[in-house]
Amino acid sequence: MDNKIMQKWLEAGYVTLPHVLVENYAKLGMDEQELVVVLQLQSFLEKRIYFPSMEDIAKRMTLSTEQAFRVIQALVTKRLIAIKQQEGTAQVLAESYTLEPLWEKLMLLFENMHEEQQVVSQQHVQISLYSQFEQEFGRPLSPMEAEMLSAWIDQDRNNPELIREALKEAVISQKLSFRYIDRILLNWNRQNIKTAEQARAASAAFHEQVGTPNTDKTTGIRVKKSENSIPLYDWLDKRKG
């Protein structure tokens, strides 16, 4: 390509639109003609042509002047573009197209999509967590247990991975009950333990006491803890609930 032509091409600049608009314009109620008209308006605005005529818009497209007018009218009606007045030369007010309504709707759409993705992701995590609990308990969870599990996540704001660690501790200590798991989580919250890594570190600290002699509460005989035991039984004895 001739260098001069290339130079003119580069000097003419580029028109850019967000990918989120190109991918989701239909969700905003736009059709293909309206999208291209928005593209043309963006091009005009970048060249400081703030209020192109219908003839100017139609020339760039396969639309008649009347069709271009109808598309512009539709975009205004849908509140995707607006016409505002701004100060022009010699302090005279002049009309100008603005795409701000479109960007605002697009931002709201993007935020909603992000929230929906988070909800779906959280639902997948909860389903996986429910399945793990049912597997460890060897039965379906009761409605009350399912509600309690949801409360740990939604109300208490516990990290699902932290709940998994509490379940593991209950399994290892052979005290598999929701009441016991709840006490583990409450104890960790009091210690400001928020992540699975912190929980494992706290568990490791407990494990350091495994070799310490203990007294059997039933027989009064001092016994040594097994390798798999975890001194979490104190939580139910020391805490109210």
Residue 111 maps to a domain: no
Residues spanned by the domain of 95: 3-105
What pLDDT is recorded for position 87?
72
Helix residue spans in the chain (DSSP H):
3-12, 19-24, 32-46, 54-59, 65-77, 100-137, 143-154, 160-172, 178-190, 196-207, 233-238
Does residue 66 share a domain with residue 160? Answer: no
Distance CA 190, CA 235 (A): 12
How does the average pLDDT of the chain come out, rounded?
83
Residue 116 maps to a domain: no
Question: Which of 68-77, 127-136, 180-189, 221-230 is least confident?
Answer: 221-230
What pLDDT is recorded for position 238?
45
Residue 126 maps to a domain: no
Residue 121 maps to a domain: no
Residues above pLDDT 70, as percent of the chain: 81
What pLDDT is recorded for position 233?
43
pLDDT mean over 98-122: 89
Does residue 147 share a domain with residue 219? Answer: yes
Indicate the pLDDT class of residue 194, thresholds 50, 70 and 90. Answer: confident
What pLDDT is recorded for position 222?
39
Residue 135 maps to a domain: no
Q: Does residue 189 surpass a pLDDT of 50? A: yes
Q: What's the predicted TM-score (pTM) here?
A: 0.56
Does residue 7 share a domain with residue 101? Answer: yes
What pLDDT is recorded for position 86?
76
Does residue 94 share a domain with residue 8? Answer: yes
Distance CA 103, CA 110 (A): 10
pLDDT (tens digit, 9 = 90+) per residue, 52-71?
999 999 999 999 999 999 99
Q: Residues with Cβ < 8 Å from 227, sequence gap 6 or more?
A: 210
What pLDDT is recorded for position 41?
96
Candidate ranges 169-183, 198-212, 214-228; pick with highest mean pLDDT = 169-183
Q: Does residue 17 surpass a pLDDT of 70? A: yes
What pLDDT is recorded for position 88?
64
Does residue 145 share a domain with residue 95? Answer: no
173 with 229: CB under 8 angstroms?
Answer: yes
Q: Does residue 229 surpass a pLDDT of 60? A: no
Q: Does residue 227 surpass a pLDDT of 60? A: no
150 with 182: CB under 8 angstroms?
Answer: no
Residue 132 maps to a domain: no
Count of the separate structural domains present in the chain: 2
Does residue 149 share a domain with residue 85? Answer: no
pLDDT mean over 157-171: 91
More confident residue, 227 or 171: 171
Does residue 163 share a domain with residue 90? Answer: no
CATH of the domain at 87: 1.10.10.10
pLDDT mean over 81-102: 85
Q: Does residue 192 surpass a pLDDT of 50? A: yes
Indicate the pLDDT class of residue 120, thresholds 50, 70 and 90. Answer: confident
Q: How far is CA 102 from CA 42, 72, 234, in A?
A: 11, 13, 60
